[in-house]
Amino acid sequence: MKELRESLGLDKLFALIEAKGELAASVKRHKLARQHVKLSELKAEYQHCSLFMDIITHSKPAKAKLEEIFSHFQELNLSHLKQTECLQVHELFEIKNFLWQYQQMCAVMGKQGMNNLHPLPDLSAMFTLLDPDRNGLPTFRISAQYSQQLARLLEAQRSSSMRLQKARQQDLADARQALDMPRLNAEFVLSRNRQEVLTKLLASKHFIVSNENLANYSFRLADSAQALAIKQDLDVLNDKITEEETNILQELTNEVKTLYKDLETAYHSAGELSWDFYLAEFAQKYDCCIPKLLNSDDKPFPGIMLKAAVHLPLKLYLEDNNRSYQALDLRLEKATNLITGPNMGGKSTALITLGQLCYLASKGIPLPAKKAELPVYDNVYYNHTSTDNSENLSSFGKEVVAFNAALQRKGKTLMLLDEFAKGTNPAEGEALCAAVIEYLSHTDHTLVATTHFSAPAKLDGIAHFSIKGIAEKDFARLQKLPDNDMKSRLKLLSEAMDYALIPLSGTSQPPQCAIKIATILGLPADIIKLLGKDYE
C-alpha cells in the first residue's frame, strides 16, 4: 500500500487536505487507512461534504467560525476515560474544553440547518456539571461550589496563610532589630569574605543556612514557634483539602460516566464533521467535484467518465514553474482498455490520474475534476510498484511477482498496467503483454493498459485509445530550433503535445513517433541517417 501511494503520488495529494487540529488530524489518519468502505457510506459522506461546500461558498462567517472550532478540537482518550476509576483535574479540563467547542459547533450547525448530519446529543448538563462557578469558559478547577466542606477548609487555609504571613513579617522585624540589620530579607546570599557579618548571622537563632559553597552562604529566616505551629496547621488542612478534592473528583467521575455514551457519540460526530468540513475546503480550493458513484453489483462494469480530471500534484508543480497543464477527459465503456501513443505523450500521467481519482473515490474524498462518474473499487493496482524487494529478482521479475499478488486480492481491482513486460526481451515481452491483457478481459477487474507493443492493439473486444500527440506542422517547427537550446525544446515539446485521448475503431497499429521526438531532442542526424530511408 505504501508503494502504491508513492507511485501514484497520493501522499502529496493527501498533504493538500489541511486537517487542522488534533482531532481532525486523527480522523484524517483513520479515514485514509480504512479499506472496503460501503457504497452507501461513501455516498452519505459525499453528501455531507457537498453541504459544507455550500456553506464555505455562501456563508463566510459560518465558515470562519467552524474553521476556528474544528482547529481547536483536541483528542480525547475515550477508552481511558471509560476505564479509569477516578478522572484527574487535567482530564476534566480536556473534557470541558471539548464540550465548550462542541456547544459552539452545535450552535453554528443549527443555524445552518445542518444539525442532523450526525447525532449531536445535548451535553449541556455535563458542561454545567464541570462549570460550578457558571463562568461559561473552557476552563476547569475544583471549585468550592462543589462542597461546603471544601469551602470551609479553603477558608481556613486562607486564614491560616494570612496568619503565617503576618507571623513571618513579625519574625523578620524581630531579626532586623536583634541583629541591627534593618535591610535584611527573609532569604539572601552572603559572601564568605564578610566574616564579621557571617559570625553574627551564624550565631543568631533568627536565620538558618539553607545552602553553602566555596564562595557564599545562603540564609533563610528561621521559623518561630508561632510560625511553625501555623505551618503544622496548614499541613493538616492541606491533607484534608486533598482528601476532599479526591472525593469530589470521584463524584464527578461517576457522574461523567453516566453520560459517557453521549460524550462518545458527540466526540465521534465532531470528528466526522471536522473531516467533512476540511474535505469541503480542499474541494473548494482545488476546484474538485463530488463524483457520482456507480453501482457495479448489477453490472460488472458500469463505465467511467471523467471530465477535466487533474493530476493535482503535477498540475501544481507545473504551474509553479510557469508551465501549462492539460486536464484529462476520459470515457471508458468497456472494462478492458488500451492506450497507445507517442513517447512523452502523457500515457503514464493518464493512468496515474485515473488511479488517483479512483483511489480518492474509495475514501470519500472529492475528486480534482469538473465531473466524474465511476464505480468504487476494492483495490487499485499500478505496476510501477513492487511488493517484492528481493535483490535476486530483476525489475521484470518483481513486476511479475507483484502482478500475481494483485490477482490474489479479494474484490474488484482497477488494474493499471504501464508498459507491462517492457523489462524483458521485446519478443517475449510483447507476447506476455498481449496474453495478460486478454486474460484480464475475462475477469471482473477493470484494466487500463499502455503499451508500445503492436500485438495488444490487435486484440479483439477491447477499447483502444491513442494520445493525440504532436501535429506534423509542430514537428517541423520544433526541428528548426537551435541545437543548443534544449530547455526551450523541452518546454515547447510539452506545449505542442496534445494529451487528449481519442478512441480508435477496430484494431490499430500504435503510433510510431519515437524517432521524430529523438530528433527534436537533439539525437545526431548521422544516427538518424543510419536508420534508412523509411525513418527519415
- Taking only the tens place, the pLDDT of each residue in 120-130 is 999 999 999 99
Q: How many CA atoms lie within 13 A of 399 on its CB side?
A: 19
d(CA 422, CA 234): 84
Mean pLDDT confidence for 106-111: 96
Instruction: Render 12-33 in DSSP notation, one character per residue.
Output: HHHTTS---SHHHHHHHHHHHH
Output DSSP code: residue 296. -
Q: What pLDDT is recorded for position 293? A: 96
Q: What pLDDT is recorded for position 485? A: 64
Q: What pLDDT is recorded for position 510? A: 59
Whether 535 shows a pLDDT value over 60: the answer reads no
Q: What pLDDT is recorded for position 393? A: 65
Mean pLDDT confidence for 278-287: 97
Record the cell numbers describing residue 87, joined without a space: 478522572
Record the cell numbers describing residue 95, joined without a space: 473534557
Mean pLDDT confidence for 191-210: 94
- Amino acid present at 456: P
d(CA 344, CA 352): 14
Confidence of residue 321 (pLDDT cuts 50, 70, 90): confident
Residues 6+ apart with CB under 8 A from 72: 21, 101
Confidence of residue 400 (pLDDT cuts 50, 70, 90): confident
Residue-wise over 114-125: b if at least 16 C-beta within 10 A, else e? bbebbebbebee
Mean pLDDT for all residues in the chain:
90
What SS3 state is found at 310? coil
Query: Among residues of the chain, what percentage have pLDDT more than 70?
Result: 88
Record the cell numbers describing residue 496, joined without a space: 505542442
Q: What is the 3-state secondary structure (H, E, C) of 97-157?
A: HHHHHHHHHHHHHHHCCCCCCCCCCCCHHHHHHCCCCCCCCCCCCCCHHHCHHHHHHHHHH
Whether 388 shows a pLDDT value over 60: the answer reads no
Q: What pLDDT is recorded for position 300? A: 82
Residues of the chain with CATH 3.40.50.300: 289-535
Q: What is the architecture of the domain spanning 289-535?
A: 3-Layer(aba) Sandwich (3.40)
E-state strands within 251-343: 292-294, 304-309, 328-332, 336-340
Whether 133 shows a pLDDT value over 90: the answer reads yes
Q: What pLDDT is recorded for position 44? A: 96
Contact yes or no for 375/327 (Cβ under 8 A): no
Mean pLDDT confidence for 526-532: 71
Confidence of residue 527 (pLDDT cuts 50, 70, 90): confident
Nearest alpha carbon to residue 238 among 364, 345, 153:
153
More confident residue, 453 or 357: 357
pLDDT digits (tens, 9 = 90+) for 230-268: 999 999 999 999 999 999 999 999 999 999 999 999 999
Main-chain dihedrals φ then ψ at residue 485, nearest 5 degrees: -100, 65
d(CA 198, CA 200): 5
Q: What pairing do the DSSP bridges indicate for beta strands 328-332 and 304-309?
A: antiparallel
d(CA 113, CA 62): 12
Which run of H or of E encompasses 67? helix 60-72
